[in-house]
Amino acid sequence: MRIARTPALTALLLLGPAIGCTGSAEATATDASTTDGATTTGPGTTGSESDATTAAETTGTTGEVLVPGDDAIVPIFDAEHIYFGSENRRQVDVDVALPATGEYDAITLDFALSCPNGRCDHWDRYGTIGVVRWPGAEDEGYVEVARFITAYRLPASWSLDVTDLRPLLKGDATIRVFIDTWVGPGHEQGEGWLVDASLDFRGGIPTPRPIEVFPLWYQSFSYGDPNAPVDTQVTAQSFTPPADATSFALRSHITGHGFGNLDNCAEFCPRIHGYQLNDQGGFARSVWRDDCPETAVPDQLGTWTYPRAGWCPGADVIPWTMDATADVLPGVENTVVYGVDDYINSCRPEAEPCTGCVAGASCDDGHGQPYYYMSALMIAYQ
């Protein structure tokens, strides 16, 4: 099935509940509800299962003894100034020592943004924090842990559950923060952002237990340009999970950006996105966030209350987590493909004729290229 086409994505949307998708595939109006977008601790987990103490929870499938790790809070960033000016510090990497051994049934990322000299960036900016697997390499292997959008001029803070990413968050690690800011010291529109972050590890045996994380994508891609089809920009990915894995979850962040175009895409237009594994079944949903007045930093300037494609100014981006157990084949190579509703943006300079511009934009001024940031990874559990 080629899911880059609208009919196929519609079919995936209908198939979603039948294939065990943890997000509600019928809920096309929002990706902010707790049942549709919240991170899970793994396929099939309940609170009573996590609290139970059984032989299965104290030994792995190969018989190794599982020992809870020592509780630890690991500082990552301390008032790290992120800015652009005489120096480009929009991206900062730090090396940290995370617990190398032991099991943890709760890992929390505590993350805060504050204003240098009381002057935060005036604008809502894309931001991401994650792990760099091969620092300095041509392909550094960046794996997104969390995504956020800064508030208009105001500080913000979040506590995010990243327990299922324990295989990434282990031992010596390089952690990166990036904010797409274009201001800095002395700028009339603010001096950037100060970042504080730490990871809080709480010892315990999780059920199910994440044993490996397979990064699939972290990229941006243009949307609506017939000369650059999405399926030529976002190519199929493969991974080979361990044969003793018993369940799987696909975890994704998707946000749309660019406005003034046909349908005001991609920031202000809902579109159905989907994934398919091994040509079987699929997962699809509308990426749309309409709860900004309730979830974002309140009393901002700007259009912070408007619904958007998967995000709100001054809020974390809620990951879409899907139970992929039924479609993954342990011990062999698996293939994952991504698709999004078909769309041609007629509000672009090379369009003949150029039509459909909105919000006072024209093909020559006021519109931005529609595009998405998308990341996805597969988590294997025992």
Given a cut of 50, whether residue 48 has pLDDT beyond it is no
Spatial CB neighbours of 343, under 8 Å, sequence gap ≥ 6: 223, 224, 262, 263, 265, 271, 370
Q: Contact, 381 vs 41, CB < 8 A?
A: no
- Per CATH, 1-51+207-382 and 67-204 having the same topology is answered yes
Question: What would the mean pLDDT of 309-336 be, rounded to a whole number?
Answer: 97
What is the pLDDT, as a whole number, of residue 61?
Answer: 59
CA-angle at 56, arms to 52 and 59, nearest 5°: 120
* Closest alpha carbon to 108 in 145, 134, 135: 145
| Structural tokens at position 380 | 């294997």
Q: What are the angstrom distances between the C-alpha of 110 and each of 166, 278, 317, 327? A: 15, 36, 14, 33
Q: What is the pLDDT of residue 177?
A: 98
Domain 67-204 fold is Jelly Rolls (2.60.120)
CB 162 within 8 A of CB 147: no
Can you tell me the mean pLDDT for 139-152?
97
Average of pLDDT values for 72-84?
98
Percent of the chain at pLDDT exceeding 70:
84
SS3 content of the chain, % helix, strand, coil (to 5): 10, 40, 50
Look-up: residue for tokens 């990434």?
168
- Token couple for 129: 């924090």
- Residue 18 pLDDT grade (very low, low, confident, very high; cuts 50, 70, 90): very low
Q: How far apart are CA 20 and CA 13, in angstroms?
A: 12
Using CA atoms, how far apart are residues 74 and 76, in angstroms rounded to an integer?
6
**Of the listed ranges 4-13, 44-53, 71-80, 285-294, the one predicted with least confidence:** 44-53
pTM given for the model: 0.86
Adjacent-strand bridge partners of 144: 130
Per-residue model confidence (pLDDT) at position 82: 98
Which has the closest alpha carbon to 115: 61, 79, 140, 158? 79
In what order do the strands lie in the sheet containing 371-381? 210-222, 371-381, 247-257, 320-323
> Average pLDDT, whole number, for the chain?
87
What distance in Å separates the CA atoms of residue 245 and residue 268, rounded to the nearest whole number?
A: 39
Q: Tell me: the pLDDT tens digits for 215-244?
A: 999 999 999 999 999 999 999 999 999 999
Task: Please report, in angstroms and rounded to a whole number, the separation of the first and last CA atoms in the chain.
Answer: 30
pLDDT category at 27 given cuts 50, 70, 90 is very low
Question: Cα torsion at 204, 208, 378, 239 (round to 10°)?
Answer: 110
Cα separation of 374 and 274, whole Å? 11
Query: For residue 157, what are its two tokens?
Result: 């803070």
CATH class of the structural domain 1-51+207-382: mainly beta
pLDDT digits (tens, 9 = 90+) for 339-377: 999 999 999 988 889 999 998 898 888 778 999 999 999
Residue ranges per structural domain of the chain: 1-51+207-382, 67-204
Distance between CA 168 and CA 98 in Å, rounded? 10
Residue pLDDT, tens place only, 247-265: 999 999 999 999 999 999 9
Task: Report pLDDT for 28.
Answer: 33
Confidence of residue 64 (pLDDT cuts 50, 70, 90): confident
303 Cα distance to chain centroid = 22
| Residue 152 reports pLDDT greater than 90 | yes
Output the CA–CA distances (angstroms, integers) from residue 374 to 25, 93, 230, 365, in the order listed: 18, 21, 12, 27
Q: Which of 76, 63, 35 lies closest to 320, judged by CA?
A: 35
Contacts of 51 (CB under 8 A, 6+ apart): none
What are the Cα distances from residue 220, in Å, to 36, 112, 206, 321, 371?
23, 25, 33, 20, 7
The pLDDT of residue 60 is above 90: no
pLDDT of residue 63: 66
Cis status, amide bond into 185, omega within 30 of 0: no
* Model confidence at 56: pLDDT above 50: no
SS3 state at 328 = coil
